[in-house]
Amino acid sequence: MKLSPSDMRNELERVRSNNYNQFVKRVHLMRVRGFVDETVEFKTPVTALVGTNGGGKSTILGATALAYKNIRPGQFFPKASIGDESMADWSIEIELVDKNISRDRTITRTARFTHSKWRRDGFPERPVEYIEIQRTVPAGEISRFRRFVGGSPNDFTVSDLNQNTITYATAVLDKNIENYRVVIENSNPSSKMYIGSYSGVDYSQFHFGAGEASVIETIDRIENSPENSLILIEEVENGLHPVAVRLFVQYLQNAARRRRLQVVFTTHSQDAVNELPVEAVWASINKRAWNGKLSIESLRAITGNVPDARAVYVEDAFVKEWVENAIGRYGAGLAANTKVFAAGGYPNVIKVSQFHNENPMLRIPSIALVDGDIISTDNHALPPYARFIGDNTPEDIVFSFIFDHKTELVSLIRQRCFLSQFSEDRILETINSVRNSSCDCHIVFTEMSQRLDFVSSLHIRAGMIDLFNEKNPIFWQEIIQFIREQNPSN
């Protein structure tokens, strides 16, 4: 069910080359619900919207839905007769791929709220499946299920589930649902209820667990939607165990590839975010939007929920571990009140630190450490609160040092990386093999793991980070001082 790295790259290229019949490429929130001149670009078939409560995730989701005229704007942006005067002159510009209108270029449409109504001239239609947060509410508390209580059996048709629904819901739930069925109301085919089965005894959706009902219904709706549909999901993790969340996001990527779907979902789950490439994640905080894997922990920091700490923002999890190790080794007390957060790639890491420092509610300073691999690509002048960390990709800096000193370090590599089951010759051979393979520097530790019988790549990474930092105190001297200067009292 999980896509391979090559499949992921192919999906990114498909979006980049506009290889879709219909696709929402970009939403420009010119003015809506506190957003002013913010743009969200959809670079992948599956996009996650993360952020704080009230930060704007659902606004972006609703703006995406407005791309198609068969969706009622009031479903996402209702207007009350009292108190909604701010809606005057709301405006959302949307860039679309629509081969029925233009074969070789994108089109742009603008939705405006004027004179108490939305105007969307020339907007296309597209199948859209909106999966609301109410899916996790127990069936007994949802009014639409009341029709299934006390009705005549002749009012309903019982059918087998879509085979794909069975296959993928079984995988996500780790529970065989091949004997489950669906009950459809004859007078309203969109009105459905599911029937479970245990040891040959049937039971209705009234007795499903919240997560079980959510997964089956959501997957069934997706698998029965037309190909090339737009799928919008509120809070994808609701009612699900973290393992099920990860499997469900894998399913969404699989379904998008199989059925050429575009999926956009909101979430507060780090497990959901971790399953996606960096291009697929947008963070929305206080009506500002950033692209990149801004972690849930980072969101807490820039909104003031991590008190009494110096904040250091870096690009990814590898640099977070690298910097934390260095602070612990050379910081002389800094580690006790310094937190390091992965905030996504450049320039997102700069923007997040800037937002943090400009937030009047935060007393603690923040800095950004930027990967040095961009130094030679352009004239990147950094603001005073940021500096480069090395002059190359962090993984390459660490692995190159290990490679250059492998003979003298091999006994320590064997110890620190938990490789005692391998001879020193085998370890040296593997290091040479990885270097000669010219693989992407971001996966060198995974490549070593595969060549060493799939031992933990995390142990290899941690051991090599520790060795690099131990042998290179000069590398960290100015960086540690830069971090310390953010609060001279420490």
Q: Could you please report the per-residue DSSP string of 297-347?
A: HHHHHHTT-S-S-EEEEESSHHHHHHHHHHHHHHSTTGGGGEEEEE--STT
Question: What distance in Å separates the CA atoms of residue 54 and residue 51, rounded to the nearest whole number?
Answer: 8
- Selection from 368, 358, 355, 266 nearest residue 316 by Cα: 368
Instruction: Enumerate domains of the chain plus CATH numbers.
Output: 5-127+227-285 (3.40.50.300), 133-223 (no CATH), 294-490 (no CATH)
Distance CA 119, CA 105 (A): 24
Tell me if residue 435 falls in helix, strand or coil. helix
In this structure, what token pair is assigned to residue 377?
A: 């690509």
State the pLDDT at residue 51: 83
Stated as kind and residue range, the H or E segment containing 110 is: strand 107-114
Q: Dump the DSSP string for 167-194.
A: HHHHHHHTS--TT-EEEEETTEEEEEEE
Instruction: State the pLDDT at residue 364.
Output: 80
Q: What are phi and psi of 41, to 5 degrees?
A: -110, 130
> What is the C-alpha to C-alpha distance for residues 360 and 231, in angstroms, rounded to an integer?
38
- pLDDT confidence of residue 65: 95
Conformational region of residue 415, where left means phi above 0, alpha means psi within -120 to 50, and beta covers everything else:
alpha
Per DSSP, what are the bridge partners of residue 109? 94
User: How far apart are alpha carbons 300 and 293 in whole angstroms?
Assistant: 14
User: Which pLDDT tens digits describe the chain residue by residue (490 residues)?
Assistant: 788 888 988 999 999 999 999 999 999 999 998 899 999 999 999 999 998 778 889 999 999 999 999 999 988 998 776 666 778 789 999 999 999 999 999 999 999 998 788 999 999 999 999 998 766 566 656 666 677 776 677 888 989 999 999 999 999 999 899 999 998 888 888 788 888 888 888 888 888 887 888 899 999 999 999 999 999 999 999 888 899 999 999 999 999 999 999 999 999 888 998 899 888 999 888 788 888 777 666 766 666 655 556 889 999 889 999 999 999 999 988 888 888 988 888 888 898 888 888 877 677 888 999 999 887 655 668 999 999 999 999 999 999 999 999 999 999 999 999 999 999 999 999 999 999 987 888 899 999 999 999 999 999 999 999 999 999 999 999 999 999 887 644 4
